[in-house]
Every structure is written in structure tokens, then in C-alpha cells.
Structure 1
Amino acid sequence: MTERVLSPRNRGFLFLDSHPAGCARSVADMWRACPAPARAPEGDGPVALVIGSSAGYGLAATLAGLKRAGIRGIGVSFEKGPTARRTATAGWYRTAATADIARAAGRDLVLLNGDAFSDTMKDQVADLVERRFGGRLDHLIYSVAAPRRTDPDTGTTYASVLRPIGRADRTKTLVFDDEGVPEVREVETAPAEGDDVEQTVAVMGGADWERWIDHLAGRGLLADGFTTAALSYIGSPLTEAIYRQGTIGAAKAHLEATARTLDERLGKLLGGRAVTSVNGAAVTQSSTAIPGIALYTGLLRGVLGDGLVPPIDQLAALWDQLTGAAPLALDDEGRIRLDTFELSDGVQAAVAERWESADTATIAELADLDWFRAEVRRLYGFSVPGIDYAAPVATDVPWPDHTP
């Protein structure tokens, strides 16, 4: 078994290696932080499918589902294993840790590695639901962030882009140099051109979510009262030009329109529901790639401190609503809103004031940079309390076996 001493090596917010023990501990910490239900789930628990189960809100959905709702079922993600030169991706190690937690909790959780956009993966999941989980699926959580998608019908590959629509956007952003010193810069992002919007919607909109529902319904695998939620984000007016009003925002609007279509169909067919869940800001591998989001999130934490609600708590609340443990609370657009802690007028005014004042000289006073840096490093298993980073660690962790 290969053992190495691993140190964080990064280019901006992207790290070249991940730390297996740190990733495992971060998953265990999320599990412990997840609030337990008032009453322990009884019996086998509902059958759930989480698409995008290895990172960010999808990982939180998986862990919160196991602990809060007592789910069993399937998680799907796309991760790379270890090689002679590189460790596995952080999601690979987090998945292995999630499997250990599910096993210890007595929950039958199958974790699959592959392209969620493909019909091959959809067939594999449908076969598992049929053979292993009684042929009925109760819940589906859709949490996919990907740069590309190949349409199984046409073979066309679409690529998503992060661009404003209509005109260039100039915004502040937060970067760190090789020594970890923060700098606030202004960056300009060129507007979408050609078919950028259509390409991004094809990747990040609701097409694949709807295809999953169609595929499973076509096999007769959706239970009466089936519920599905796609995870989304709206965010602040400070970032809306690049996000909610940009190409990604167009994709999110398509996702929400898909939810309304699916909700009507599932209601008639099964007495079921389809919703989007609008989550609050968090440091994720996806969010750090968006201009301005790192600065905004650091400032938001500076305003809220521990009042910034972590993903595991948000997803525990989502599971309560999906399972009926709490009422389904929807906004006027039919969305579950888990971001109210972030978007209140008072919080946004305080963040906007800090945003205006933020520059390289003042950023350390305005944003919680220690927290933000640690959160980024923890995405890859570094800066996790309780880990001896001077000790060699085994890197060739196997993907979880799902033999019954």
C-alpha cells in the first residue's frame, strides 16, 4: 500500500493532491454536526438517489439523508482514483468515508462512480433500484455541477461557461498569492457570445434532471408520493451580473422551469412533488471558480460569523420537508428557500457596505479570511483539525464495494 507525506500544493483555489485522512475526518465532522432527528428513523427507511453525492451540497444531502431521514439507496458521482503521480480526487476519499459511515449506521448505501449524464449510468441505477431496493424509489436529489455534458440522444457535447449576458462585467474578486497573502483585484469578464447561453443551459439546466425522472418512471420505479429536489442558488445582488443574470443564471432559470413541469406531471401521476431547493452561500469547489464569489462569501462570513448556516444544517432542513417531518414551505415561485439567513435586508446591506470598502489594505478587517482559507483547504482534506500532516498516509484507498 502506497504511503506518502502530503503537503498542500495549489494553483489558486485548485489543489493538485488531496489528503485521504483529512477528507475522511471532514466527512466524519459533517456527520457529527448533522442534527439528529427528534425520533430515530424506523425500519429500512426510504429509498433515495443522490446524484452528485461526493462534494458540496450533494455530499451534505447524502449525509443528512442518512442521519436525519434514515435513507438507504444510491449515490452517484464522477471521481478519479489514485495514480502513481497523484492522489485520488477529494471526492473519491470522501465517498470511501461516506460508505464507512453508512455501513456503521446500518444503512444500505451503494455508491457508484461514473457519468451521471449517460444512459448507461441511468440503466445501472434503475437496475439496482429494481433488484436491491424493492423496485421503488421514494426521493431523488439532483446536485450536479459539471463543465460539460454529452447528450445521449445526439452525441453532442455541450460546454458551460461563466459569463454575463449582454455586456462585460467588472467586479472585485479575492485571490491569494503563493504565500497565502490576500489581494482584492478587479477582473472583467467578457459577455456571452454565440451559443454560450444555450450551451450552458444544456449542461447546467434541467434537461438531465428531467431525463433521470423520465428514465426511472419509464421503468415503473417511482413510488407513490415520490419527491425530487434539484439544488440551486440565487445569491446576492452583488454577484448577480456574473451569476443569476449570467449564463449560469439562465441555466438555473431553466432548472426552475423544469421543476414546475415535473411537479405537475408527478402530482398527476403519483401524488408526488418536484421542487428546486435554493441553498445559501458556502465554500465549495464549484463556487470558488466564479469571479466575486470568494470575496462575497468571505465578507458574508465576516458579517454573520457562526450565523452562516453550513450545508449540512440546510440539507437536514430539506430532508425534513421532503419526508413530511416538517411542512413543505415554498416561495411564490414554488421553491424551497434555505437561503433566508443570507438574503435578509440587514445582512445584505452590511455585506454591501463592506464590499464597497474592500481592497487589499482593508480586506483582512472586513472578511473572515482565516475561516475562508481553511474552508478552501478542507475541501481537499487539508487544515482539518486532528490530522497529523507530518505522518505518511495511504493514498490508494479503494472505491467502496457494493456487494450485498
Structure 2
Amino acid sequence: MSERVIEPKSRGFLFLDSHPGGCAALVDEMWHAVPAPDRADDGDRPVALIIGSSAGYGLAATIAGLARAGIRGIGVCFEKAPGRRTGTAGWYRTAATARLARLHGQDMVFLNGDAFSDTMKEQVADLLTERFGGRLDHLVYSVAAPRRTDPDTGRVHASVLKPVGAPHTTKTLVFDESGAPEVKEVTTAPAEGDDVEQTVAVMGGTDWERWITFLADRSLLADGFTTAALSYIGSPLTAAIYRQGTIGAAKSHLEATARTLDERLAKTVGGRAVTSVNAAAVTQSSTAIPGIALYVGLLRGVLGDALVPPIGQLVSLWDQLTGASPLALDDEGRVRLDTWELDPAVQDAVAERWSAATSESVTALADLDWFGDEVRRLYGFSVPGVDYTAPVEADVPWPSHTA
């Protein structure tokens, strides 16, 4: 693909193309937002596996792990290569992350494929054995997917975003063709049939546990191994569609899996398994959830720059996983990185704005300029310092595995 000017063309919150230069600049911006480690590099860098390494909180986990915890290891993601259209944003972010890792002398391999498959698990296990001394210190699991093929049965499970028990009507934020914001009501039909079971099969803890079992059977888990699966609870304003809905059932299964794994790892390698409850953010996954766009815009309107971005949250998680700071757990054994969001005063202020939000008032109540920029940044647009009028090469290769 020859160089060309790439413009931000979208359908709703979904962009048709991604900007390679903007994605690279965003990764660089995130890397430089990470505080320098407060400990000396003794040369024995921890080996980590990040599953879901190219987007959202998984990308933040990868960059914070490299820049803060000094990790080396493997990132797994599923991205589309450049072709008739540009590559996916995650393709370009991965290339940029690999470049920065090399620049800082860190051996980070990125694999593109189905994280749910046993083929990928075999490939990761072989790399850990051959390239990283047969040792894995940390695993961060951050997978959001619409479907999963069960490796044992071949059955394809599909996740859905639905309330449980009854239809749910909520406010949601959309933008018309001219870009003007509209606050509308949308009603989502309740889960039916095996919707809950299928969503749990995709988004619950089954695959996370399968990864741990697979790697443990290959004797790859180091003494003191820690693993965290990233989760979300969220506001009462979004609970019916999220925490009390089908996705919430999957998150509850994820947390139950963490408790089972924690007991098992404590006995076998003196390790730990936790869920990390992260706070709200604009991600490609979250913008698909009814009401979340409006909620996050209002949250930013209340908090301004006090809203903690994913990279800041994941710095805290890595400090806890590596022992740089104590592992702080709630009564359910979860790391809570969302306390600033769920502070009662913050939630009361957001709820007041939520009630008052209309198409006419939302611009004054929510930070829509920030929200719009955050959505565009997911695809490499609205990143400071990038000349979007200049032609750019979209045919960026996947990072080489060569050491």
C-alpha cells in the first residue's frame, strides 16, 4: 500500500481506517506518562505474558509493564493486517510498542492470533521455553471478544450485551451526521435462552484458567507467579446493562475463577491470582455498551483531569504485582483501582447530571470535546503532534520475532 493521507471516517463510534503515525504517537505518549521505576535494574527482568495486549487496558498493561516493571516476554492479540483498508489500530499500536521495547533493550515478542485456541497456548509455551528460560513470572489477562470457540468441543459461543430478567431502558449518547450530540433513550431486550451461559463461556474465567493450567502442566510458572484478570464493576447508573446483566455474570464467574486459582497457585508455586477492578475509560469495547458513552462523558465533566486514565491505573497494578507496593485487596480478594470513580460524592454528582442530561443540556454537563477526542484517539486520530494532512505509509509490518 503506497503512502496516502488517511482521514477519520466513521460510522458512529466505529472508524473505517486507523492512522499509523497517530497510533505510534499515542503509544509514545502513554510510555512517557509512566513514572520511572524507583528501583535499580539488576538485569533480571521479570517475564510476563499479556493476553489482549493491543487495546484498552491490555495495551496499558503492556506499556506500563515495560516502562514501569521492566518486563520482557510475550503479548498476544488478534489484529487485522493492512490490505484494501488500513490495518486495525491495534496492529499499528503493537508495532509501535515493539519498537519502544527494542529501543529500551527489552525482549518483547508479539503474537497475532486467537488467544482462546490451544494452538496459541502451544506457541506461547514453546517461546517461553526456548526464549525466556522456561519461566513465567506474571500473566495479565485482558480479553474482550464477541465469540469464543471451545477447544475441546469445537462449539462457538457468542457473548451478548443484555440485561437479565426484564428489558432495560437507559439514556445513551449519540452524534448526528453533523456531529451534534443527542441524548436518546434506548431499550435493550432481556437475555433469553442460553445468553447468560454463552456470555460466561466467552467472557468469564474459563479461558484464563485454561491458560494457567496449560502453562502449569508445562512447568512454566515461576515460584511466586502472579496473575491478574482485568475486570469492571462500574456505577449504579450502568449496573442493569453491565454488572447485573450478561457481562456482569461473566465478571462474577471471572472473580470466582480468581479465588479458585489463588488457592491452587498458593499451594503449588506460592503464587497469587486476583481480579483487578479497573475504572471507567473510553475503549473500543466500552463504547459499544448502551449508556457508557454518556456516563463516561459526564464522569469527565465532574472530575476533569482528576479522571485517572488506564495507563495510570495499570502502573498501580504492576507495582502491586511486582511487590513494589503492597497488594491491596477488598473483602472479595479483588484489587480495586476504581475507588476514585465510585467515591459517593463523585457518583452523586454524576447521577445529578445524568438526570438533567438532554440533547440541549448535555454539552454543558459532559466533557464532549474530551470524549470525542478519546474516541478518535482509539484509531490514531486527535493525537497532538501528528500532521494528519501528510501522506503516511499504512503497510506497516508485524514486529519480527527475531531476537
Give the TM interval when normalised to the shorter protein: over 0.9
Letter in 2 for 1:31: W
Match of 1:65? 65
User: What is the distance in 2 between the residues matched to 1:5 and 1:164?
Assistant: 42
1:4 deviation in Å?
Answer: 1.1
- In structure 1, C-alpha distance between the alignment counterparts of 2:29 and 2:41, rounded to whole Å: 21
- Counterpart for residue 4 of structure 2: 4
Shift of 1:37: 1.6
Instruction: Find the residue that maps to 1:203 and give its secondary structure.
Output: helix
Query: Following TM superposition, by how much is the alpha carbon of 1:317 offset from its aligned partner in structure 2, in angstroms?
Result: 0.4
Following superposition, the deviation at residue 320 of structure 1 comes to: 0.4
**C-alpha RMSD over aligned residues:** 0.6
- In structure 2, distance between residues paired with 1:56 and 1:366: 25
Whether the 8 Å contact between 1:283 and 1:375 is mirrored in structure 2 is: yes
Q: Which of 218-227 and 37-46 deviates more? A: 37-46
- Structure 1 residue 177: deviation in Å? 1.5
Q: Which residue matches 1:161? A: 160
SS in 2 for 1:343: coil
Deviation string for 1:80-120 (max 9, x for gaps)?
0011x200000000000000010011000000000000000
**Residue 44 of structure 1 contacts residue 72 of structure 1 at CA under 8 Å; is this kept in 2?**
no
Q: Distance in 2 between matches of 1:181 and 1:104?
A: 43
Q: Which residue of 1 aligns with 2:143?
A: 144
Question: SS of the counterpart of 1:283?
Answer: coil
CA distance in 2, matches of 1:282, 1:227: 25
Q: Distance in 1 between matches of 2:372 and 2:354?
A: 18
Instruction: Please list, as runs of the form range in 1=range in 2, the aligned pairs for 1:322-401 lying within 5 A after superposition.
Output: 322-401=321-400
Unaligned runs of 5+ in 2: none
- Corresponding letter in the other structure for 1:35: P
Match of 2:243 in 1: 244
Alignment of 1:28-67 (within 5 A): 28-67=28-67
Q: Distance in 1 between matches of 2:70 and 2:197?
A: 39
Q: Which runs of 4+ in 1 moved over 3 A?
A: none
Structure 1 runs not aligned, ≥5 long: none
Aligned equivalent of 1:260:
259
Q: Equivalents in 2 of 1:205, 1:71: separation in Å? A: 26
Q: CA deviation at 1:180?
A: 1.4
Residue 34 of structure 1 deviates from its aligned partner by 1.1
Kept after mapping to 2: 8 A contact 1:35/1:313: no
| Residues 5, 393 of structure 1: 8 Å contact kept | yes
Corresponding residue for 1:230? 229
- Equivalent-residue separation in structure 2 for 1:16 and 1:60 (angstroms): 23
Per the alignment, residue 86 of structure 2 pairs with 87
Contact 1:147 1:160 in 2 (8 A): yes
TM-score, normalisation: structure 2: 0.99
Name the amino acid aligned to 2:397.
P
Q: Give the TM-score normalised by the residue count of structure 1.
A: 0.99
In structure 1, distance between residues paired with 2:40 and 2:368: 38
Provide Cα deviations, 1:150-193, integer angstroms capped at 9, x if missing partner. Answer: 00000000000000000000000001122211100000000000
Counterpart residue type for residue 88 of structure 2: T
* Counterpart mapping for 1:199-210 below 5 A: 199-210=198-209
Report the identity percentage: 78
Q: Distance in 2 between matches of 1:307 and 1:325?
A: 24
> 1:342 corresponds to which letter in structure 2?
E
Name 2:19's counterpart in structure 1. 19
Measure the CA separation in 1 of the matches of 2:286 and 2:146. 13
Could you tell me how far apart the structure 1 residues matched to 2:44 and 2:17 are? 37
C-alpha distance in structure 2 between counterparts of 1:287 and 1:90, whole Å: 16
1:40 Cα deviation after fit: 3.9
Q: Which amino acid aligns with 2:217?
A: G
- Contact 1:41–1:69 (CA<8 Å) still a contact in 2? no
1:8 counterpart SS class: coil
Counterpart AA for 1:14 = L
